[in-house]
Structure 1
């Protein structure tokens, strides 16, 4: 019953659509919003789940972690997918609204930094990457033999990935950075721009074999003498050696918990875990039980 999945692309307006006997009063109707890093995975998980239990319908949209959390706060979602934890301000807002939520860490992700496949660059140090994204390094000729201005493809401030990179590098992004609406737009931008650099969820680019034909995933080293690691290296991720790896969150309204529980248990089961891994993410050992 794949028709039961409603996938709203983040660049479009969200319209409430329900197929078959789904409606706003359907106790098995789940709304999930948030992280673009997780949206493709969420769609595939929901497709598989509703094939096993067609009494459920799941509406999914992206738009960024911040949008998902705000939607949860406003009662417009049951689940907020997020590639970052709640901020202190958001925690306080939930308390002030007397909204109880449950927090689930359902996978481990890594952020990949991508350049055009023809750019003669294979790796960067964390410090150099920070100088590029903050605009201190403006031309590729400062680090490689290419005399071209650097074009940065990033995300909007509502993106959890945007916040994650900013905090890890301790920078403010260059005001010339292009703000894209999602992973797909960043990939397309870098594909077409031989001087571009962008960041996307490693799971997203790993799941799309066509991306690898026109973009290159850089290895990252913590300093000039450290070993450089790829975000697609499972050993590096499992040993926490890649600098830009992070947990992926799902925040669930407590009042929606009984309705959502079967889907969460599906994610933690064998089929769900395999889907998560097939998308290039890493599963956590403590997922292997029902809740």
Structure 2
């Protein structure tokens, strides 16, 4: 396992710096001419092919922080490879991926049958990889001192808009209108919440929807009567200004999302695996894509935990590395 000196709060800044450094190195190489490039190769004494080029990655905002970490560390070893992370949501990412526009699609849910069909129609063959576990976190404002736990049934009523005020749930709670903040409909987090909590029924009409989890964080943090939900990492990053709500599991236990409860499965049913999907053609024809995926699987466990998610058991990463090797 590599020893990474990585801070989650600096992902985006570091990525920009890595990109700038890569561009600078490229400019220097062009300025010095081909002889300089030959000298560099000779000095390294390495027979390994130098990686360069771009990797098109888009999809889930939940998986985004993990893959941003992967791209940052990968750039440190391969500065001539550009692998920026797009955040258009799981659904938006699959739309691009199944059209052949991206090499990798990050997803907080498995690919849907209709998305599989589009991929097949467009001749896109792909492989699914799991990268970490997440605990979908329900949060309220820090000043909310009345909600101490919620059941899945409570969540369903709240998000279908059946109670309009907090006092409609419990007469001892404030007679104030509930404000709702939810991921947008292109988000895999929305899809998961829709399946597990809403049962496919429409979300409350006056909910604020956004593909940007930071918008949701600010919305809940700035309104005492707000409730929202998003990935575990975004809660951890903002726990000083948010209050997480324990969820009653199937055993009747009110459980908060933590690394331990997510990994052990006691924080249920809101724990879930996270994925990324890779175009098989890209794996075979673009060496930088193959090496990027290999690097991700080798280091995702540590990087996922550094940005606030929960690693898979090591044997799952090992098994997926074997799958990857068979696709080369």
TM-score computed with the length of structure 1 as normaliser: 0.87
Q: Which residue, out of 181, 190, 196, partners 1:168?
A: 196
Q: Which residue of 1 aligns with 2:45?
A: none
Give deviations 1:48-99, integer Å, cap 9, x for gaps: 1110222311121102001111111222211110101111111111111121
Deviation for aligned residue 1:238: 2.1
Alignment of 1:107-118 (within 5 A): 107-118=132-143
Residues 1:266 and 2:295 aligned together? yes
Q: Which residue of 1 aligns with 2:10?
A: none
Deviation for aligned residue 1:110: 1.1
Alignment of 1:142-157 (within 5 A): 142-143=169-170, 144-157=172-185
Q: Which residue of 1 aligns with 2:71?
A: 46
Quick check: 1:203–1:281 contact (8 Å CA) kept in 2?
Answer: yes
Distance in 1 (alpha carbons) for counterparts of 2:264 and 2:135: 13
Q: Which residue of 2 aligns with 1:278?
A: 306
Alignment of 1:136-147 (within 5 A): 136-141=162-167, 142-143=169-170, 144-147=172-175
Q: Which residue of 2 aligns with 1:12?
A: none
Residues 1:215 and 2:222 aligned together? no
Q: Which residue of 2 aligns with 1:132?
A: 158
Q: Which residue of 2 aligns with 1:67?
A: 92
Give deviations 1:159-206, integer Å, cap 9, x for gaps: 111111000011321111111232100000001011000011002222
TM-score computed with the length of structure 2 as normaliser: 0.77
Unpaired segments ≥5 residues, structure 2: 1-13, 28-50
- In structure 2, the residue corresponding to 1:37 is in which secondary structure? coil
Quick check: 1:154–1:177 contact (8 Å CA) kept in 2?
Answer: yes
Aligned residues: 271
* Residue 79 to residue 4, structure 1, CA distance change in 2 (3 Å): farther
Unpaired segments ≥5 residues, structure 1: 7-17
Residues 1:230 and 2:256 aligned together? yes
Distance in 2 (alpha carbons) for counterparts of 1:252 and 1:3: 24
Distance in 2 (alpha carbons) for counterparts of 1:159 and 1:181: 6
More strand by share: 1
Deviation for aligned residue 1:226: 0.4
Cα RMSD of the aligned pairs, angstroms, is 2.1
Give deviations 1:209-245, integer Å, cap 9, x for gaps: xx1122101110136x70011112x332222121201
More helix by share: 2
